[in-house]
Amino acid sequence: MVKNVWVALVLLMSGATSAYAGFYAGPLLSFESLSVNGASYQGFMPRLMLGYGGFVREAFFLGAEMEAGTTSIPINNHPNSYAGLKTSYSYGISLVPGLALDEYLMGYVRLGVLFSHFSSANLNATHSGFQRGLGLETKFAENWSVRGEVDYVSYASFANVGSPAAFQYVLGLNYWF
C-alpha cells in the first residue's frame, strides 16, 4: 500500500517545477503532551522524516511522508494507578496537502497514522493513533526549508487505560534533493 502511494506521487509530481518538488528529508523535534484518565506525560521526541511531494496546478502541494522517532526525553511524567504514557519509539505515515502562500511560504495540513510504543510498569505495547495537524513551511536557501506545525493525535483505547490524546508541537529542518 505504501509503495503504491509513493509510485503514484512520483508519477503525479514528475512534471512539477517548484521550490518544493521532489524528495526531502530531515530531523524533527517534537514536544508532546499526552493525557488520559489522570495520567499525563510531557516530553521531547527527536525524529527523522522522509517525504516526497510537489505542486499540482501551481498552487496546490501534495506530499507523503514517513517519520520515525526514538525514545522520548521526559519533562513531566505523572502515571495513574495503572500506567504511564512515556513512549519508547514511534513511527508513522502521512499525507500532506498544502497551499502556496507565496513563492517561499506554504501552509499545509497533516493527515496520518502514528504508531507509538508505550512502556511503563503495567503497559508495554504499540498503539495506533489518527494524526492531524496544521503547519507552515518556508524556504530559506535553495535546498533548505524550515517548518513548524501543531498536531493532535487520538489513540485507540488501551485496556485499563482509556483513549489517550496527544498534542505535538513540531519544529523541523528539511533538505530538498
Q: Cell numbers of 149, please?
A: 506545525
pLDDT for 101 beyond 80: yes
Give pLDDT, residue 167.
96
What value does the mean pLDDT take over residues 153-170?
A: 86
pLDDT for 115 beyond 70: yes
Q: Residue 11: which pLDDT band, with cuts at 50, 70 and 90?
A: very low
Give pLDDT, residue 73.
85
**% helix / strand / coil in the chain, to the nearest 5?**
5, 70, 25
Could you tell me the sign of the dihedral formed by the alpha carbons of 166, 129, 66, 22, in that order? negative
The model's pLDDT over 25-69, given as tens digits with 9 standing for 90+, comes to: 999 999 999 888 877 889 999 999 999 999 998 899 999 999 999
Higher pLDDT, 37 or 94: 94
Q: Which fold has domain 2-176?
A: Porin (2.40.160)
Q: Residue 14: which pLDDT band, with cuts at 50, 70 and 90?
A: very low
What value does the mean pLDDT take over residues 82-107?
A: 89
Across the chain, what does the average pLDDT equal?
86
For the ranges 2-11, 15-24, 154-163, the maximum mean pLDDT occurs at 154-163
Q: Which residue has cell 518556508?
A: 138
Rounded to 5 degrees, what angle do the CA atoms 171, 33, 127 make?
100
Tell me the backbone φ, ψ of residue 137, rounded to 5 degrees.
-135, 140
Higher pLDDT, 7 or 90: 90
Give pLDDT, residue 72.
83
Give pLDDT, residue 9.
47
State the Cα–Cα distance between residues 139 and 103, nearest whole angstrom: 9
H or E element at residue 7:
helix 2-13
Are 144 and 158 a contacting pair, CB within 8 Å? Answer: no
Give pLDDT, residue 158.
74
Half-sphere exposure of 164 (CA within 13 A, CB side): 31
Q: Which residues of 139-160 are buried (b: 16+ CB within 10 A; e: fewer)?
A: beeeeebebebebebebeebee
